[in-house]
Structure formats: C-alpha cells, structure tokens
A and B are shown apart, each in its own frame.
Chain A
Amino acid sequence: VGLWDRLKPDLEQRLRETNPHLSETQVRQISDNLEAEIESQPPPRVAFIGVTGVGKSSTLNALFNAGADISHSVACTQSPVERKFTAREYMGAKGSIVVFDMPGIGEDIESDERHYAAYEKVLPDVDVAVWIFPAEHREMTPTQHALIRISRSLGPKITERMVFALNKVDLLHPGPEHWNPHANMPSDEQVRYMRERSADITRKIRQVVPWSGEVVPYSATRRYRLPHLMDTILDSAAKNRAWLFGARAVIADFRELVDPRLLKAAEQARTKMDR
C-alpha cells in the first residue's frame, strides 16, 4: 500500500500521457480499479525448509518484523495434504505472509519419503522456497536426493524459485568465539570458511539440479547479511509477485548490533574513501 501511495501520481500521469484519448474520469476509474486489484492480491507465500533448530522462525522474524517475534499468526485454510505440515499466515510489521514450515530431511527413510511428498505438493504453490542449511553440519547427500526427486517430479524449473541459504555463520569454524561482537562480523578465518562452505554447497546443488544461483550465507540472530538474503528472495520470486515480499520486508538492522564507536569510525572511513 505504501508503494501505491508513492507511485500512484506517477502511474496515473503515465497513463494520461501514453493514452491521451482517455478522459480524466476514465483514468480515475482505471486507477481506482487498480488500487482495488493491488489490495486484493494474496499475501506472498514462502516455504522455509530445514531441520529443527536451523533458524526458520528467527529468519522469518529478521526479514519481516525487524527481528522481533511474530507472535500473532493464524492457521491457513489447508488442503488435506497441507495438513501434514504447518502453514500459517503471519502478520509482520508491514503485512501478512503465508509461511509453510517444511521439515528438513535426513532423519530416516520413512520420514524422508513423507517429506518428499510434502515438498512436491507445496513447492509449486509457493512464490519462493528458502532452503536453510545449518552452519554446523556438512552432510549434503539427503538434500541432493531430495533435489533430484523434486526436479524429476516437478521439472527442473522449480529450482528457479528456490533460495539456498546458510544460517548461523557466526557459529562457523573456528568457532563462535571468533565472531567479532564489536563489529558484529566474522573473523577473517570465519570469512574464509564461510566462502568455502557456501561454494561447497553451491557445487553440490549444481551436481544434481540445473541451478545458477549462489548460496547465501547469513546469520538471522546476528542480523548479518540479511539484505543479501532478501535481495535473493526477490530475484527468485516471479517478477509480478516479488514486490509483495519487498513491500513487507522490515529487515532487522545490522547496525544496532555494532559498537557505536566502531560504527562511527567505519562511517568516517567510508566518507574518506568517497573523497
């Protein structure tokens, strides 16, 4: 709605300029209908896929509610298949988001089969699926099997709406004590390892499905690289639906977790660079 308020005058003006045969009443009528169409758009639908504890809820909070808990949610109307997992409509700071909480795989063969079936039912129906990997584990074989199955049953284009992300990079090797709490950034060694891990996951995904993206390393709780994650989500959504995510994005502020003196020095360093 904020987008509409901001862009309405420009859109109306363009409509007048490119279609001078329209009367002012007709332009207004189209504009009013367009506003109604915008307001009637269903909320964005996102699936978060990952094992318990990978940080699906904290990621949701960090992207759409400035990091605060989204406590209010309602269960969505679900088909019989959807009842096998959680689908809820959350009210973020700027509007609602339908979230499918999808289990991770690798627990056991029987569970994995159920989860594959759930993926196959849900993924065609979401705008974006964010597949979150835990920083601590390197096991990729179950994910590769799942991607092969999904790609075979839904077609390889399904990967276009997938975002692969590596959460909790603050815990990466050599360990959480190497995270710099003042700068709220990883140590040089963690950065090297983060790049290696991301490249390794990217390579293993590309071994099994046609996918040209890059894994997004981030930390929801540290608010580290969250805009990178949102940017990738926008790239993965359909062009005429991406705005629904962007309009609802209220990304937790990284700067709030940085030592103010260091932040001031960093901003001054940027000014010097500009000069």
Chain B
Amino acid sequence: MMNAGMTISPADPEFERIADTLGRFLDDLDERNQRIVYKTEASFREFCAYAVQSIAASLGYTLTDIAEFIKDMGASWSEGWRSGRDRARRASLRYRGGV
C-alpha cells in the first residue's frame, strides 16, 4: 500500500493492485447501499400494511384480505430486492461506460 505524501499514477507498479482492491471494496459498498434502499422500503411497506389495517378499522371498512395484502408486500419486497440489484447493476454499467 502507498502511504501519505506519495503520489500515484498508472505507471506506478502498485497502481493496478490498489485499483483491484479498491474495485472489490466498491462492490461491497454498492451492495450495502442497495441493501439500505431495500430494507428501508421493506420496513416502510410493513409499516403501511399495519397502518392501513388500523385506518380501515377506524373508518369502519373491512379489509378481508389484509393478510394477503401484507403477504403480497413481502413478495414484492423480495422481488424488489432482486430487480433492484439488477437495476443498480445496469446503472453501474452505464456509469462505467461513461468514464
């Protein structure tokens, strides 16, 4: 690893190795950011599902399929996780293409 005070350029013998290490770290970083997005959404959907149940009851409406509603949200969450990963991956590829 290079240390403070040193400069770095592509001609440096360490450059490629450091770039590879950084690249692996960026993979990890992006994965974490995706997880934050989808955990946030999953939590929000769960909150909404139970809030809807409570609101409907207070308004005097019967939600016969609230269990299904919540279950569907769970399915949406896992689908969202997968499709979100794909979206992020595509976006990442586009970004790289523009570098």
Q: Do A and B come from one complex?
A: yes
Interface residues of A (CB under 8 A from B): 3, 7, 10-11, 14-15, 18-19, 21-22, 26, 29-30, 33-34, 37-38, 176-183, 185-189, 225, 227-228, 230-231, 234-235, 237, 239-243, 245-247, 249, 251, 254-255, 258-259, 261-271, 273-274
Any A CB within 8 A of the CB of B91: no
For residue A83, give the distance in angstroms from its CB to the closest CB of chain B.
31
Consensus secondary structure, chain B interface: helix
Are A268 and B43 in touch, CB under 8 angstroms? no
Output the residue of A10, A183, A263 with the most chain B CB within 10 A. A183
For residue B80, give the distance in angstroms from its CB to the closest CB of chain A.
10
Are A10 and B76 in touch, CB under 8 angstroms? yes
Determine the residue in chain A with the shortest Cβ distance to B22: A266
Query: Which B residues touch A19, using CB under 8 A?
Result: 63-65, 69
Determine the residue in chain A with the shortest Cβ distance to B39: A234
Are A7 and B45 in touch, CB under 8 angstroms? yes
On whether A231 and B35 interact (CB within 8 A), knowing A240-B46, A247-B44, A262-B22, the answer reads yes
Question: What is the bound-complex CA distance between A38 and B51, given in angstroms?
Answer: 9
Question: What is the bound-complex CA distance between A26 and B99, given in angstroms?
Answer: 50
29 sampled A-B residue pairs with Cβ under 8 A: A3-B40, A3-B41, A14-B72, A18-B66, A22-B61, A30-B55, A30-B61, A38-B47, A180-B18, A185-B21, A188-B1, A228-B32, A230-B32, A234-B40, A240-B46, A240-B47, A242-B43, A243-B41, A246-B36, A246-B39, A246-B43, A246-B44, A249-B40, A262-B22, A267-B23, A267-B26, A268-B99, A269-B16, A273-B23
Query: Which B residues touch A176, using CB under 8 A?
Result: 4
For residue B86, give the distance in angstroms from its CB to the closest CB of chain A.
13
On whether A18 and B65 interact (CB within 8 A), knowing A234-B40, A240-B47, A270-B96, the answer reads yes
Task: Identify A264's interface contact among B6, B73, B99, CB under 8 A.
Answer: B99
Question: What is the bound-complex CA distance between A237 and B36, given in angstroms?
Answer: 13
Determine the residue in chain B with the shortest Cβ distance to A3: B44
Question: What is the bound-complex CA distance between A33 and B95, given in angstroms?
Answer: 40
Question: What is the bound-complex CA distance between A272 and B55, given in angstroms?
Answer: 52
For residue A191, give the distance in angstroms from its CB to the closest CB of chain B.
9
Determine the residue in chain B with the shortest Cβ distance to A37: B51
On whether A187 and B52 interact (CB within 8 A), knowing A240-B46, A247-B40, the answer reads no
Are A258 and B37 in touch, CB under 8 angstroms? no
Are B8 and A261 in touch, CB under 8 angstroms? yes
Query: Which A residues touch B41, using CB under 8 A?
Result: 3, 7, 243, 246
Task: Identify A266's interface contact among B23, B40, B50, CB under 8 A.
Answer: B23
Question: What is the bound-complex CA distance between A255 and B16, given in angstroms?
Answer: 18
Query: Which B residues touch A254, using CB under 8 A?
Result: 29
For residue A97, give the distance in angstroms from its CB to the closest CB of chain B.
15
Are A15 and B43 in touch, CB under 8 angstroms? no
On whether A183 and B18 interact (CB within 8 A), knowing A18-B69, A21-B64, the answer reads yes
Are B39 and A266 in touch, CB under 8 angstroms? no
Query: Which A residues touch B22, using CB under 8 A?
Result: 183, 185, 258, 262-263, 265-266, 269
Are A267 and B36 in touch, CB under 8 angstroms? no
Query: Which B residues touch A179, using CB under 8 A?
Result: 3-4
Extra contacts besides A21-B62, A178-B3 (5): CB < 8 Å: A18-B63, A18-B69, A30-B61, A187-B1, A262-B18
Query: Which B residues touch A183, using CB under 8 A?
Result: 1, 18, 21-22
Are A242 and B39 in touch, CB under 8 angstroms? yes
Are B2 and A231 in touch, CB under 8 angstroms? no
Question: What is the bound-complex CA distance between A225 and B52, given in angstroms?
Answer: 36
